């Protein structure tokens, strides 16, 4: 039997950077997924990890994993636990024994997370795990969280900690308490990769839909609007820590002005969550709400520009989408990364194609994605 889990990426709809200073932000799932397939093996004595999109394969003998991680004892799938510094060093030993290209060494923490989640949840069972993703790495779309969520879901599906209907065909969802367990394990994986994550990315990926968060408190929001975004990856790398530090420095230099800006961003976040929860009574009402959201995006982008987190590549996307009378804003840290463009329901496919072609001339990569969809899902295959 093979179990497959898929988990969505995420975007920040409003409130990036302001959230760092205790203001509200709104995040949403997108229907671009990371998929993890897991097959337990009785014919081999190895644990294999295949990262299809980056062309890396790893293989460890079960005996070697037991030798290095013998201090872990039996699996403890029902008790999400942080990985100790001592265990990180042991995981590094296992990864260092593999042929890891120097150019991709930054991805090593993702392999650490795999080994920790695997041995903690399933122990030392031989298996093959295959990972593929529609999400670009390091673009601010929650790729690492989707990886940790889908991996945790697949592992837990074969553990004693969740009870799933394995006879059900197609994709199915976890019960609330089981999803909470997936989320907690995924957060432990995120901590290995990022150190001190907020928990927002893995929560959005686990539960889907929309999440509103402020000062560490997350509130799930039910979106009733069928929104679609064009996500443009500028492929410009950014230093998130430096961008956050620069905004904080500007806040220190101009406390009153920055307070006004951040309050305005929070007002935009609050209005976003109010609008997307409203039920469209007809197409006219839906169009009016889409127009309001477009205006909020433009205002939010202007405020983000004023605090110094835009970039020439982002401005290229804004100017290009403006030709087609479409609203755009950066999502995430800024300084490059990705840009959102709202695609109204009335827009034609021809217009979208022209926009994508023009953005492609800059070397940008575009994805069309629905927002606010389901979180992590699971399926079982008995065919092989």
CATH number of 2-219+377-381: 3.30.230.10
Domain ranges across the chain:
2-219+377-381, 227-368
Q: Which candidate, 199, 191, 189, 164, places its Cα nearest to that of 178?
A: 164
| Topology (CATH) of 227-368 | Alpha-Beta Plaits (3.30.70)
Residue in the block written with tokens 């827009």 = 347
Residue 57 annotated to the active site: no
Residue 284 CA to residue 345 CA, distance in Å, equals 11
Residue 278 CA to residue 222 CA, distance in Å, equals 9
| Residues 274-278: contacts with CB under 8 Å, at least 24 apart | 275/225, 276/210, 276/221, 276/223, 276/224, 276/225, 276/227, 276/372, 277/221, 277/222, 277/223, 277/224, 278/224, 278/225
Residue 100 CA to residue 198 CA, distance in Å, equals 29
Angle between helices 143-157 and 200-207 (to 10 degrees): 50
Residue 14 CA to residue 1 CA, distance in Å, equals 42
pTM of the model: 0.90
pLDDT tens over the chain, length 384 residues: 899 999 999 999 999 999 989 999 999 999 999 999 999 988 889 999 999 988 899 999 999 999 999 888 788 889 999 999 999 999 999 998 887 777 777 788 999 999 999 999 999 999 999 999 999 888 889 999 999 999 999 999 999 888 887 777 889 999 999 999 999 999 999 999 988 888 899 999 999 999 999 988 999 998 888 899 999 999 998 888 889 899 999 999 999 999 999 999 999 999 999 999 988 778 888 899 999 999 999 999 999 999 999 999 999 999 999 999 999 999 998 999 999 999 999 999 999 999 999 999 999 999 999 999 999 999 998 775
Residue 237 CA to residue 139 CA, distance in Å, equals 8
259, containing H or E segment: helix 255-277
Catalytic residue among 201, 256, 270, 353: 201
Q: Which candidate, 124, 123, 146, places its Cα nearest to that of 136?
A: 146
Residue 382 CA to residue 105 CA, distance in Å, equals 36
Residue 379 CA to residue 27 CA, distance in Å, equals 26
Q: Do domains 2-219+377-381 and 227-368 have the same CATH topology?
A: no
Q: Is-contact 197 148, C-beta < 8 A?
A: no
Distance of CA 15 to CAs 218, 229, 300, 315, Å? 14, 17, 8, 19
Cα dihedral sign, 295-241-369-356:
positive
Residue in the block written with tokens 């806040």 = 251
């Amino acid at each position: 039997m093979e179990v497959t889990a898929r988990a969505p990426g995420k975007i920040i709809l409003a409130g990036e950077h302001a959230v760092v200073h205790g203001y509200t932000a709104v995040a949403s799932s997108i229907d671009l997924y990371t998929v993890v397939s897991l097959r337990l093996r009785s014919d081999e004595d190895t644990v294999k990890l295949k990262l299809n999109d980056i062309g890396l394969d790893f293989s460890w003998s079960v005996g070697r994993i037991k030798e290095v991680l013998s201090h872990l004892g039996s699996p403890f799938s029902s008790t999400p636990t942080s990985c100790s510094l001592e265990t990180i060093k042991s995981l590094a030993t296992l990864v260092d024994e593999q042929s890891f290209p120097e150019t991709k060494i930054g991805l090593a923490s993702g392999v650490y997370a795999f080994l920790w989640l695997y041995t903690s949840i399933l122990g030392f069972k031989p298996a093959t795990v295959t990972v593929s993703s529609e999400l670009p790495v390091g673009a601010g779309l929650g790729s690492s969280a989707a990886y940790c969520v889908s991996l945790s879901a697949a592992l837990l599906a074969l553990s004693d900690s969740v009870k799933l209907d394995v006879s059900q065909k197609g994709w199915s969802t976890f019960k609330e308490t089981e999803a909470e367990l997936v989320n907690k394990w995924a957060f432990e994986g995120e901590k290995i990769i990022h150190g001190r994550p907020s928990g927002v990315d893995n929560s959005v990926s686990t539960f889907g839909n929309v999440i509103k968060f402020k000062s560490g408190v997350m509130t799930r929001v039910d979106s009733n609007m069928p929104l679609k975004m064009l996500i443009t990856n500028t492929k410009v790398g950014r230093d998130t820590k430096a961008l956050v530090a620069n905004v904080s420095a500007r806040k220190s230099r101009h406390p009153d002005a920055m307070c006004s800006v951040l309050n305005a961003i929070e007002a935009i976040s609050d209005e976003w969550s109010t609008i997307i929860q409203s039920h469209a009574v007809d197409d006219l009402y839906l169009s009016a709400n889409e127009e309001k959201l477009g205006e909020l995006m433009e205002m939010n982008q202007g405020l983000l520009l004023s605090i110094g987190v835009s970039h020439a590549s982002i401005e290229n996307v804004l100017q290009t989408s403006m030709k087609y009378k479409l609203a755009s804003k950066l999502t995430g840290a800024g300084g490059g990364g990705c840009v959102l463009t709202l695609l109204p329901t009335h827009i034609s496919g021809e217009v979208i194609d022209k926009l994508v072609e023009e953005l492609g001339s800059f070397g940008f990569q575009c994805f069309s994605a629905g927002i606010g969809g389901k979180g992590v899902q699971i399926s079982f295959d008995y065919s092989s």
